[in-house]
Amino acid sequence: MTYSRIAGTGRYLPEKILTNFDLEKMVETSDEWIRTRTGVERRHIAAEDQSASDLSVEAAKVAMDDAGVSPEDIDMVIIGTTTPDLVFPNIATIVQHRLGIPACPAFSLETACSGFIYALSTADKFIKADGAKCVLVVGVECLTRLIDWSDRNTCVLFGDGAGAVIVKPSDEPGILSTHLGADGQYKDLLYYPSGPSRDLDKAGTKEVGIMMTGNEVFKVAVKTLGNVATKALEDAGIEQSELDWLVPHQANIRIIQATAKRLDLPMEKVIVTVQDHGNTSAASVPMALDVGVRDGRIKRGQLVLMEAFGGGFTWGSVLMRF
Ligand code: UT7
């Protein structure tokens, strides 16, 4: 049986850092509130002249180097993001061209914070069913571009960044299972009220920013992520105690703790980056994976569960032997 296996990881974070103390000067908030309610201490903000493709290219170079692949080896590019450079061409083609990757399928997915999980799951299917040999998968976001910086409910939460992986076929396991889900009935709890075919003229104006009914999102996120994580293990016939690492979406430390508790997993087995990155939406899981791999915690052959939840709502998980 052919498995898909992550052959290399990488991340890129923009230089500029915005701390909770900086935010105290911008809106009525406090470092204490942000830390205790969300776990965030600082977040990175893309420079004015940086767009999502710039962040993606940097993260991809690191992942390609880690996997020992060159641009000619790559035969597919999939990018999860809700903040692409342009409406079209899609960001994956921009990244493909910038990296010198020869002609191949290149496309993006916009499933909010689940973007990377959806993209990785898609790569897994193309490898298993369609003979793809080397897929570049990126989760990237410049979400701070969509923020109303006078809205304390949202401006303290988000950050920018990119995470990338190279996925290749392997006889060794590999990705063991992927589970994806979505339920559009929750669309009004978390959304951005402007897009290419609706109210585009309002984008970036004071009138619109990310709209979120935080506490309602919180409740559904805790319940859904708990269910997603336990289902991934149940379907694979794997006991919770066998899991080496949980690499969760980094939206809120309290959501992460609740999921770990549901899995009976000590927090020592959870990769947490929310304090340094904030919520980077589609970039959060691949960046957290890269952090865990590069600091030596996540080792080859270990059992890793990645999960995410975001606007839509959308959600998903990937269970793998790293
Ligand atoms: O990544 C996609 C999925 N997104 C998520 O999973 C996010 C899920 N939601 C959350 O993480 C949390 O709901 C938030 C962090 C967004 C908010 O935390 P909360 O504990 O649910 O707070 P709340 O919205 O219920 O607000 C509690 C209080 C309110 O004041 P009153 O009405 O009790 O007087 C807010 O006005 O906290 C106030 N508040 C703030 N205070 C200081 C809200 N934002 C702030 C702030 N600083 N930045």
Specify whether 279 is catalytic.
yes
| Residue 132 CA to ligand 1 centre (angstroms) | 43
Average pLDDT, integer, range 150-178: 97
Candidate of 215, 253, 256, 285 to mutate for ligand 1, largest count of ligand atoms within 8 Å of Cβ: 215
Cα 158 to Cα 105, 110, 127, 143, distances in angstroms: 31, 17, 33, 7
How far is CA 101 from its chain centroid? 23
Average pLDDT, integer, range 201-224: 89
Residue 272 has pLDDT above 90, yes or no: yes
Cα 14 to Cα 18, 44, 55, 102, 139, distances in angstroms: 11, 6, 7, 27, 15
Helix (H) or strand (E) holding 228: helix 214-236
Proportion of the chain in helix, strand, coil states, percent, rounded to 5: 40, 25, 35
Three-class SS of 49-61: CCCHHHHHHHHHH
Minimum CA distance residue for ligand 1 atom 18: 37
Low-confidence winner among 31-35, 160-164, 200-204, 245-249 (lowest mean pLDDT): 200-204
Residue 72: count other Cβ atoms within 10 Å of its Cβ: 10
Specify whether 113 is catalytic.
yes
| Closest among 207, 224, 203 to 83, alpha carbons compared | 203
Find out whether the beta carbon of 322 lies less than 6 Å from any atom of ligand 1: no
| Residue 26 CA to ligand 1 centre (angstroms) | 17
| Residue 251 CA to ligand 1 centre (angstroms) | 12
Residue 13 has pLDDT above 80, yes or no: yes
| Closest among 301, 303, 272 to 285, alpha carbons compared | 272
Give the pLDDT confidence of 49-65 residue by residue, as tens digits.
999 999 999 999 999 99
Average pLDDT, integer, range 166-172: 97
Minimum CA distance residue for ligand 1 atom 11: 252
Find out whether the beta carbon of 251 lies less than 6 Å from any atom of ligand 1: yes
Predicted pLDDT of residue 100: 98
Find the catalytic residue in 113, 134, 142, 155. Answer: 113
Confidence of residue 202 (pLDDT cuts 50, 70, 90): confident
Question: Relative to the CA of 153, which ligand 1 atom is closest?
Answer: 44
| Residue 37 CA to ligand 1 centre (angstroms) | 7
Find the catalytic residue in 142, 155, 179, 249. Answer: 249
Minimum CA distance residue for ligand 1 atom 29: 153
Give the pLDDT confidence of 86-125 residue by residue, as tens digits.
999 999 999 999 999 999 999 999 999 999 999 999 999 9
Find the catalytic residue in 20, 90, 252, 279. Answer: 279
Find out whether the beta carbon of 82 lies less than 6 Å from any atom of ligand 1: no
Three-class SS of 59-88: HHHHHHHHHCCCHHHCCEEEEECCCCCCCC
Find out whether the beta carbon of 217 lies less than 6 Å from any atom of ligand 1: yes
| Residue 208 CA to ligand 1 centre (angstroms) | 19
Cα 221 to Cα 2, 255, 307, 309, distances in angstroms: 33, 7, 11, 6
Predicted pLDDT of residue 183: 98
Question: Relative to the CA of 38, which ligand 1 atom is closest?
Answer: 15
Residue 199 has pLDDT above 90, yes or no: no
Confidence of residue 208 (pLDDT cuts 50, 70, 90): confident
Contact in structure between 1 and 127 (CB atoms under 8 Å): no
User: Structure pTM?
Assistant: 0.98
Question: Relative to the CA of 281, which ligand 1 atom is closest?
Answer: 1
Residue 205 has pLDDT above 80, yes or no: no
Average pLDDT, integer, range 223-249: 95
Minimum CA distance residue for ligand 1 atom 27: 215
Give the pLDDT confidence of 128-150 residue by residue, as tens digits.
999 999 999 999 999 999 999 99
Residue 198 has pLDDT above 80, yes or no: yes
Residue identified by tokens 């059992």 is 303
Minimum CA distance residue for ligand 1 atom 28: 153
Minimum CA distance residue for ligand 1 atom 42: 29
Q: Tokens standing for 162?
A: 């990119």
Give the pLDDT confidence of 302-311 residue by residue, as tens digits.
999 999 999 9
Average pLDDT, integer, range 23-29: 97
Minimum CA distance residue for ligand 1 atom 26: 215
Q: Which residues of 136-146 are buried (b: 16+ CB within 10 A; e: fewer)?
A: bbbbbbbbbbb
Residue 253 has pLDDT above 90, yes or no: yes
Round the average pLDDT of the chain to a whole number and report it.
Answer: 96
Average pLDDT, integer, range 283-298: 98
